[in-house]
Every structure is written in structure tokens, then in C-alpha cells.
Structure 1
Amino acid sequence: MMPTPPITFSPPPTRRQALACTGLTALAGLAALAWLPGCASAGPPRYSVRLAELQQALAGRFPRSYPLAGVLELQLHTPQLALRPERDQLNAVIALQANGLLLQGRQPQGLLDVDFGLRYEASDRSLRTDRVQVNTLRLQGLPAGLSQQLSRHGASLAAKALDGLVLHQLRPSDLALADGLGVQPGPIRVTAQGLTVEFVPRR
């Protein structure tokens, strides 16, 4: 994983905190996060992930295939991600291919366009897709009956197939200092560069 920007906190550093930050600076290349209060000028703690990292993680999880109504199989290729910070969402455009006996050897091509938010899954420290919304789903060259099946069930299938997909996974070392400070991952924000995970007090 690429190095992430340091975390920022608001209180001014005490002498003890300043000494601790000096030690953390020496380990910055390993930890990627500086958790102690006073290590930066202002603001809550944050963890950042760049768009290129998210795209790279998805490349290893595709193509993926899903059955449609028992008569068709949709193959989804690697999504091309785009940031939508104005809506706090990501967009994904995915090339599709259909396979099935009823197609008689043809492999219609198409496109799936979706928007989605994100959530944090504590069980495996992952950032996952959430609230998937299908904008466009089309396949060229389907027989009329299969086209109706796609219209009836395709959007629901696509949303379920992409919901909960892992985009990024934090390492135990990324959270070690956070655990000691009693904070945990909270809201996930979409920025012009990627994702920012804000940390909140542990309940």
C-alpha cells in the first residue's frame, strides 16, 4: 500500500507529546500514520487512500460472473473508478459480457454504470462498497426474451453483486496506535484525491 498522509489533531502539543512525536517521525515510513495528539497543527485524525490504490485492489478481483434468471451469465470486467466528492460517492463503469446456451455462441457486450457510497467493516478492517445505485445497464444484441429478463432483473442483480465489495483493507499496524488512543474508524469521505477515513472515539 502506498504511504498515506499523516494524521492531524487539534490540541497544541505538550512537552511529552512533542517528544513522542519525534520518535514517531523516525517510524513514519513504516507506520504511515502519526496518532499522538500534537503531531500536526489541527484537525481530527484521518487515514487517506488514493484512487490509484483502490483501482489496483479491484484489478485482482475481476472478472466475476453472475447468473441471471437461470438462463444467462453476466461477466463483469474490472471497474473503472471515478471520484464524486460533491456527492460523497464513487462511480464505476464496468464492461459486461453475456454468455449462455440460448445465445447460440454469441457473446453480447455491454456496459454497467453505478454509483456507490462506502462503509467500514470492523471484522476484517476493510472499506467496502455500500448503497449501490445502478445508473445504466445495457447489453447489445440480446434476443427479445433475454432482453426482457435483463430489464426485469439485471439492475437488482448488479446492485447485489457489487454491494459489500472490498476496496481497501487496513493493516493491523495502521490501527495499533488508534486502539491505544481509544479511537476507531468512522465516516468515510470521498475527496478529489481518493478516500479519507475519519476516526472517532470508541464507544
Structure 2
Amino acid sequence: MSSELDRRTVSERRRLVLQLGVATALAGVLPLGACATFPFLPDHYTFSVAEMQRAVARKFPYHKRISQIVDLTLDDPVLGTRPDANRLSIGAHAHIESPFLQAPADGHFVLTSALAYDRERQAIVLRSPAIDSLDFPDLSGPYRGEIRGALELAVSQLLEGFPIYTFKPDQLSFAGVHYEPGEINVLPKGVRVQIVER
């Protein structure tokens, strides 16, 4: 009886050592900013402002002719976070030309956007971007509303659904079990995306 108990104890120890060895080996391949609670998968991913800035910068400079009366160019985007509203902010320079203006107008705007998960593309995307502030010092008063409308249309077409991060297949599945982003939280220095079983 004692011999059998000893054999079981040795077997259990070997199994535990093997599990720890595999877990330790795989821990080295987990992404930065991730903490493993699922077997060999993190329970969240964290994206820095710098990572998201690089993603957004790929869409700029952007040129759009709107309703054949406004030529709009957007450039120099700067991404930030609004943790209090759980939104990202994007500020950019805007250059506008129109036959209705005496001269081209330059200004700056800031928009904010929510974040959502697009399951089809397996990506975290911008959702419902909206102009938060608009500053065109040399633009005459009567046209301010029209300029804001043109900007909102262009921004909506440019950034709605734009992916700031696309997951690789092995980041959301393991051994036939599938996972997906759950809660998305905007933090002061980035975005934290919870990973849950689908």
C-alpha cells in the first residue's frame, strides 16, 4: 500500500514539474502587457498610445473633395486618450479651399471616438468619431457651420470603422477554443482589451 502511494506521489510530482516546465517555456512568448490566466493565452492585451498613433498615421495625409465645392486636406494627426469618457482623441491640421472663401483657410480640430470590436475583421476599430473642437482663426463667421459639416462628413468617412489593432489568429484561439475581446477600457497611456471565451 505504501509502495503504491509512493508511486502515485512520484507520478503527481512528475506531472506537476512537466506542467510548470511547459508553462514557463510558453511564458516567454506571451506579448508584453498581457497576463496569462487562460491556458497559454493572456486575459488581456494592452496597446500603447505610440502603437495606436502609428496605426492612425497611416491614414494621413488625407484629401477629399466634398460636394464639388470644398477641397479638404487633413494631416499631422496626434492621438491621445480620454479615460474619463472611455474614448480616444485625435487632433489634426486641416486645410480648406473653396470658391466660397476669399482665401484658403487653415485650422485645427480635435475629434473623439469610441472603440469597438469588429468580429469579422478580428480588429479593434474606431466607432462613432465626432468633432469635439474646431479652431479656424481666419475663417469668416458665416461659413463656420458649413466647414464643421464638411469636416464631420470627411472624418466620419475616413475614420469610422478604422482598425487601430488587428489580432493574429493565434491570439484569439488555442486548442480549438475561441476567444474574443470583451470590455475595452481607455487608460491614460493606452487601451486595455479584456479577452474572454467566446
**Which one of 111, 115, 140 corresponds to residue 114 of structure 1?**
111
CA RMSD of superposed structures (Å)? 3.2
In the other structure, the counterpart of 2:22 is 20
- What letter matches 1:57 in structure 2? A
- What whole-Å deviation, never above 9, does each CA across 1:17-36 have from its counterpart, x for those lacking one? 5343123124347x986756
Q: Which has the higher strand share?
A: 2
Question: Under a length normalisation based on structure 1, what TM-score does the superposition of the two structures give?
Answer: 0.73
Deviation at 1:38, TM superposition (A): 6.7
**Which one of 68, 71, 90 corresponds to residue 69 of structure 2?**
71
Deviation at 1:72, TM superposition (A): 0.5
Alpha carbons 1:130, 1:164 under 8 Å: kept:
yes
Q: Does 1:171 align with 2:143?
A: no
Q: Does 1:196 align with 2:197?
A: no
Alpha carbons 2:87, 2:112 under 8 Å: kept:
yes
- What letter matches 2:108 in structure 1? L
Which residues of structure 2 form unaligned runs of 5+? 1-14
Counterparts of 1:124 and 1:38, CA distance in 2: 24
Deviation at 1:52, TM superposition (A): 0.5
Which residues of structure 1 form unaligned runs of 5+? 1-13
Change (3 A) 1:149 1:46: same
Tell which structure's C-alpha radius of gyration is larger: 2
Deviation at 1:113, TM superposition (A): 1.1
Q: What count of residue pairs does the alignment treat as equivalent? A: 183
Q: Does 1:59 align with 2:61?
A: no
Counterparts of 2:48 and 2:40, CA distance in 1: 22
Alpha carbons 2:37, 2:43 under 8 Å: kept:
no
Alpha carbons 1:137, 1:154 under 8 Å: kept:
no
SS in 2 for 1:132: strand
In the other structure, the counterpart of 2:128 is 131
Moved more, 163-172 or 135-144: 135-144
Q: Does 1:150 align with 2:147?
A: yes
